[in-house]
């Protein structure tokens, strides 16, 4: 009980500092708010900082790779800054004179941002940018595994805020040692909890009594149909799968290939750098990937050569980029149908497109319902069918999933590192987390010319078909 009281008081002190910083934040002035957001972006986009934080992240967590994390630190930040600079979020944000409506954006308050070990630098900055864009303050709850990296990230953000004349306490971090109790206190005391990562944290946020946004688990299946450009599909799947050693929730975990192009598609994937495991090697992968019902940290998000060695694959496999295992059925938890967070791609053979859709649905019901699917095709009807019939928020067509799912410069999705899965995933948003989730809106409503139709217009069809 004493520990709980101490944690409550420590977090309460941070909340008080955040509220004082908000009082001093010039958050009624869109230009000043945008200066704060740009300062946060520059804190991680600055080349030497992007590299240093990427190196720290790999050193701290032991997962991913430096090159990919540099790209993540810069690309996600740049894209998010582009999105944020194009919108108004404080004061009058829109006016519709013909409807007699003016909308005012206002802060939601102190944001508690729970962040994962997979992105201990990029996610805190991403959430901080969105929070401050809405005129709010933010307190980061880092993963203990990435605490050193996130602490340095927060220090850099605070330094840049001071440079542009804003209070440093607009961005804070929970003090070490971070525990479940401390994180829970933050979720209990903040005004809005935004949780990425552990589904246990998402669940606890939803039960905290605080307004909460949680995002679902990924486990992306991607279809290659008979009309796909096989080499293009293979290159994009490879580029996406190997990015940051498959740490992304948007990384392809399964590929479903139609029967009539199966061997040609497998050959294209091998040309792109995949290793096709033998039945004996598949058994070794299964025995290594899961240990006592949990993913094995010796292969989670590790370099390909290390993973191949740990899994006991042929020496030639160590020179490949990732590893394919072929399945003839969809298993359950801790099977090849589950999320793997490793350079292992499950491949299924589908009789036809209807069968491919069935396999994708079964995979998503193991893990990842609501999150995403992808398709490589030249048949627009197949893409439309997949979107109409699959319970996911995002369906990506002919794209490298990791690069398109969280926003791209060649698609319309908002840049983010947190992707909602709707009620299918137990989430409150069915969109990419974005600036609109961090503001309240006041509606100023004036009278307009009466807009009241005749009864016949609304009930006429019903009367004609069913009578009065």
pLDDT digits (tens, 9 = 90+) for 326-339: 999 999 999 999 99
Cα gap 39→20, rounded to integer Å: 20
Q: What is the pLDDT of residue 196?
A: 92
Question: What pLDDT was estimated at residue 198?
Answer: 83
Residue spans in the chain of domains classed CATH 3.40.605.10: 2-215+433-444
Can you tell me the distance from the alpha carbon of 108 to that of 24, in angstroms, rounded to the nearest whole number?
16
pLDDT score recorded for residue 457: 97
SS3 label, residue 368: coil
Residue 5 has pLDDT above 80, yes or no: no
Can you tell me the distance from the alpha carbon of 153 to that of 40, in angstroms, rounded to the nearest whole number? 10
Per-residue pLDDT tens over the stretch 74-102? 999 999 999 999 999 999 999 999 999 99
- Cβ count within 10 A of residue 38: 17
pLDDT at 1 over 60: no
What is the DSSP track for 128-141? HHHHHHTT-EEEEE
Helix axes of 47-61 and 147-163: crossing angle, nearest 10 degrees? 160
15 with 110: CB under 8 angstroms? yes
* Residue 170 pLDDT > 60: yes
Given this model, what pLDDT does residue 2 score?
A: 56
Whole-angstrom distance, CA of residue 167 vs CA of residue 202? 29
- Selection from 279, 278, 299 nearest residue 288 by Cα: 299
Cis peptide upstream of residue 101 (ω within 30 degrees of 0) = no
What pLDDT digit, counting tens, does each position of 293-308 carry? 899 999 999 999 999 9
Query: What average pLDDT does the chain have?
Result: 96
Are residues 27 and 167 in contact, defined by beta-carbon separation less than 8 angstroms? no
Among 115, 190, 249, 360, the one annotated catalytic: 249
Backbone angles phi, psi at 46, to 5 degrees: -50, 125
pLDDT band at residue 3 using 50, 70 and 90 as cut-offs: low
Closest CA to 54 of 38, 75, 42, 68: 68
Please give the average per-residue pLDDT across 129-155, as a whole number.
97
Q: Rounded to the nearest 5°, which phi and psi values hold at 324? A: -105, 130
Residue pLDDT, tens place only, 342-362 = 999 999 999 999 999 999 999
* Dihedral over Cα of 313, 317, 323, 325: its sign: negative
Q: What is the pLDDT of residues 227-237, one digit of tens each?
A: 999 999 999 99
Average pLDDT over residues 370-379: 98
* Spatial CA neighbour of 140 closest among 161, 166, 158: 158
Per-residue model confidence (pLDDT) at position 387: 98
Residue 317 pLDDT more than 80?
A: yes
pLDDT value for 136 = 98
Where do the CATH 3.40.309.10 domains begin and end in the chain? 220-403
- When pLDDT is averaged across residues 28-53 and rounded to a whole number, the result is 98
pLDDT at 434: 97
CA distances 250 to 125, 143, 246, Å, are 19, 20, 9
Q: Any catalytic annotation for residue 320?
A: no
* 187 burial type by CB count under 10 A (0-12 exposed, 13-18 middle, 19+ buried): buried
Report whether pLDDT(263) > 60: yes
Class of domain 220-403: alpha beta
CATH 3.40.50.10490 fits 2-215+433-444, yes or no: no
Instruction: State pTM to two decimals.
Output: 0.95
* DSSP character string of 275-331: EE--HHHHHHHHHHHEETTEE-TTTTT--HHHHHHHHT--GGGGGSSEEEEEESS--
pLDDT grade, residue 4 (50/70/90)? low
In percent, how much of the chain has pLDDT > 90? Answer: 96
């Amino acid at each position: 009980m004493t520990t709980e009281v101490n944690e409550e008081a420590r977090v309460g002190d941070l909340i008080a500092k955040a509220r004082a910083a908000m009082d001093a934040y010039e958050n009624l002035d869109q230009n000043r708010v945008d200066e704060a957001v740009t300062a946060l972006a520059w804190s991680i986009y600055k080349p030497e900082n992007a590299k240093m934080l990427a190196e720290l992240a790999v050193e701290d967590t032991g997962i991913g790779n430096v090159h990919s994390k540099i790209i993540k630190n810069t690309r996600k930040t740049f894209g998010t800054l582009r999105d944020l600079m194009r919108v108004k979020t404080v004061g009058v944000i829109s006016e519709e004179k013909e409807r007699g409506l003016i909308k005012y954006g206002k802060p939601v308050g102190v944001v508690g941002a729970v962040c994962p070990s997979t992105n201990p630098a990029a996610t805190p900055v991403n959430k901080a940018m969105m929070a401050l864009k809405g005129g709010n303050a933010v307190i980061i709850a880092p993963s203990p595994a990435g605490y050193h990296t996130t602490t340095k990230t927060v220090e850099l953000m605070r330094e840049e805020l001071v440079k542009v004349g804003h209070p440093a306490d607009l961005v804070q971090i929970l003090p070490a040692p971070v525990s479940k109790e401390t994180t829970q206190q933050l979720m209990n005391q903040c005004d809005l909890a935004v949780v990425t990562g552990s589904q246990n944290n998402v669940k606890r946020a939803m039960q905290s009594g605080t307004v909460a946004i949680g995002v679902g688990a990924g486990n992306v299946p991607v279809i290659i149909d008979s009309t796909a450009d096989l080499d293009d599909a293979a290159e994009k799947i490879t580029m996406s799968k190997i990015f940051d050693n498959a740490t992304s929730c948007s990384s392809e975990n399964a590929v479903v290939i139609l029967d009539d192009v199966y061997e040609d598609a497998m050959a294209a994937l091998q040309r792109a750098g995949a290793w096709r495991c033998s039945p004996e090697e598949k058994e070794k992968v299964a025995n290594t990937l899961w240990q006592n019902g949990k993913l094995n940290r010796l292969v989670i998000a590790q370099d390909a050569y290390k993973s191949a060695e740990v899994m006991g694959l042929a020496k030639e496999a160590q020179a490949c980029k990732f590893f394919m295992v072929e399945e003839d059925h969809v298993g359950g938890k801790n099977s090849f149908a589950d999320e793997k967070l490793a350079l292992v791609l499950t491949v299924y053979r589908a009789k036809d497109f209807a069968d491919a859709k069935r396999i994708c649905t079964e995979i998503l019901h193991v893990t990842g319902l609501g999150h995403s699917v992808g398709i490589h095709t030249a048949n627009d009807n197949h893409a439309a069918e997949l979107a109409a019939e699959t319970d996911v928020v995002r369906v990506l067509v002919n794209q490298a999933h990791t690069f398109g799912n969280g926003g791209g410069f060649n698609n319309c999705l908002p840049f983010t590192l947190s992707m909602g899965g709707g009620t299918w995933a137990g989430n409150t948003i069915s969109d990419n987390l974005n600036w609109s989730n961090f503001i309240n809106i006041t509606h100023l409503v004036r009278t307009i010319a009466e807009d009241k139709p005749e009864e016949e217009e609304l009930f006429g069809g019903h009367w004609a078909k069913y009578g009065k």
